[in-house]
Structure 1
Amino acid sequence: MSREQLAVQQARKAFISGKSKPLDFRVKQLKNLHRFLKEREADINVALRKDLYKTEKATQLFEVMGLEGEINLAVSKLAEWAAPRPVAKNLLTISDDVFIHPEPLGVVLIIGAWNYPITVTLQPLVGAIAAGNAAVVKPSEVSSNTAKVMELLSLYLDPEMYKVVTGGVPETQELLKQRFDHIFYTGSSTVGKAVMEAAARHLTPVTLELGGKSPCFIDKNCDIAVACR
């Protein structure tokens, strides 16, 4: 059994146990994720400096602050989001108590991007945790130092429910062979098509953030061959 297959199986077993259904469990995990951002701030800053030459201010502004806001919002609104919502009755349900009761979906796969490797990877995780799902997180191998920091999530989050799988294309391909209940992917449309094709085999819904333009400035100190490539 591959490492990727084992991670998915363990996450699904943990989800089926029902441990993520209580709101207290989800709130605790969200707060632990926030603690990860605070306690590993120096590690995150160093990793993004090595991977992308981001300054500490840029890292905090574009990677961490928005993520902290998402976590705080989820913690404050979780009880409201998870509460049953009444719906209008009709002739068939006139004598019934009719409501919509939100339920966790299952095990989700989150494939992160290299250019914003913290926020793009962990923002979907906030939603997954809040909704009571298990998750397998695949950081981008391009931002390898940040991916190593992501592995420290196992010290903060439930290690059975939330798995981090590092590696490159082979590891991602192996993950996509597994059955998930939802897949989040941010990146190119070319890879997005491959993700959607793999998801379709299991009728797995996907959330794809594809394309986008990332202009850059090339000055006289740049290696023109590397920049063109």
Structure 2
Amino acid sequence: MEKEEIDLIFKAQCEFFATGKTIDIGYRLEILKKLRSLIILYEQEIVDALWKDFHKPEFEVIVTESRFVIKELNYTIRKLKTWSGSRRVRTPIVHFLAHSYVVPQPYGQVLVLSPWNFPFQLAFMPLIGALAAGNCVILKVSQQVPYISAVMSKILNHFPNELIALIDGDHSVSDYLLDQKFNYIFFTGSVRIGKYVMQKAAENIIPVSLELGGKNPCVVAADARLDFAAKRIAWGKLINCGQTCVSPDYVLIDRKVKDKFLELISKEIKLFYGDNPEKSKNFARVISSGNVSRLSELMKSGQIVTGGKTDPVTKYVAPTVIKDVKPDDPIMEEEIF
């Protein structure tokens, strides 16, 4: 999208918010209910698009993307009047003749910068919150998921640009958006980019929410139910092909049960995806060939117990378990996905 188009959308949203229409709770509820109906209407297209983008299985799409968002909409619609109402609070003694209330008010224009790993959920969840609070929203989506971005655009085209606008484009578009004087910024992504977003926001004193990744350990004690732990850790790590910021990243385990746990988790992977996960319809793909190469390099740390196969052409990375990793190995110095 050209800068001139962004300028027009930003100006239109500023003018629309100034009309006060989004303050009306009835209007907000109307928007949210319409959004819910559209997601239900386009759900199969959402499923198909995410399969095309990175082979995401239908069950995962429904559970972690479309129905996840619908559930959030149901809850928000049910609670919005309560959340938006005034709340009486204590009055300072110097104002003893008065009564004090907290009255929620929208920020104004909100920028949502969404990632590629859960592209529908992590775009629409902050969008719902922003709209429910009475804001106008510009949603910047990732270039790495063109098919689901097209479906999201189709859904949001049912709303006026002065209320909701979806923008795609490369990093220069994101940079240009961050130069604008939004009233709030919501970013989901890496720590490295999160620091940059916060720096840009600080230049204009813009409040910002950062939803970032990191290294997530799991601890398995000697008295743990190992079969239970293996199943949960395997599922938590391998859903979405491991591309989840809250997924288990590494396991700290009592030496006494290490070998048994490795045997059990390898068994669970086989139960999930069969002898050849590459042929399983239930296992997604890595987002890009570049990420496949990066993961292949990380696999040189420690000793592979199971998996290890990669294919940059099909963007396949096998479910892989690695043991005897050292704290200073490359795989321990960055978030895996």
Whether TM-score is above 0.5 comes out as yes
CA positional deviation for 1:80: 0.6
Large movers: runs of 4+ above 6 Å: 224-228
Contact 2:187 2:211 in 1 (8 A): yes
Pairwise CA RMSD = 2.2
Q: Does 1:124 align with 2:213?
A: no
Q: Tell me the equivalent position of 2:153.
A: 151
Q: Tell me the equivalent position of 1:71.
A: 73
Contact 2:39 2:155 in 1 (8 A): no
Output the CA distance in 2 between the equivalents of 1:195 and 1:129: 22
Q: SS state of the match for residue 186, structure 2? A: strand
Q: Tell me the equivalent position of 1:223.
A: 312
CA positional deviation for 1:93: 2.1
Please identify, of 117-126 and 162-171, the stretch whose mean Cα deviation from structure 2 is larger.
Answer: 162-171
Q: Tell me the equivalent position of 1:13.
A: 15
Q: Tell me the equivalent position of 1:37.
A: 39
Superposed CA offset, 1:176-204 (max 9, x none) = 11111111111111111211111111100
Quote the sequence identity (%).
31
| Residues 201 and 33 (structure 1), Cα distance of their counterparts in 2 relative to 1, 3 Å cut | same
Q: Which has the higher contact order (CA 8 A, sep 6+)?
A: 1
Contact 1:52 1:115 in 2 (8 A): no
Superposed CA offset, 1:125-146 (max 9, x none) = 1100110011000111111111
Q: Does 1:141 align with 2:230?
A: no
Structure 1: which 5+ runs fail to align?
A: none
Output the CA distance in 2 between the equivalents of 1:190 and 1:26: 35
Output the CA distance in 2 between the equivalents of 1:219 and 1:226: 13
TM-score by length of 2: 0.64
Contact 2:46 2:66 in 1 (8 A): no
Q: SS state of the match for residue 95, structure 2? A: coil
Q: SS state of the match for residue 136, structure 1? A: strand
Q: SS state of the match for residue 69, structure 1? A: helix
Q: Tell me the equivalent position of 1:203.
A: 205
Q: Tell me the equivalent position of 2:177.
A: 175
CA positional deviation for 1:147: 1.1
Output the CA distance in 2 between the equivalents of 1:40 and 1:92: 56
Letter in 2 for 1:212: G
Q: SS state of the match for residue 20, structure 1? A: helix
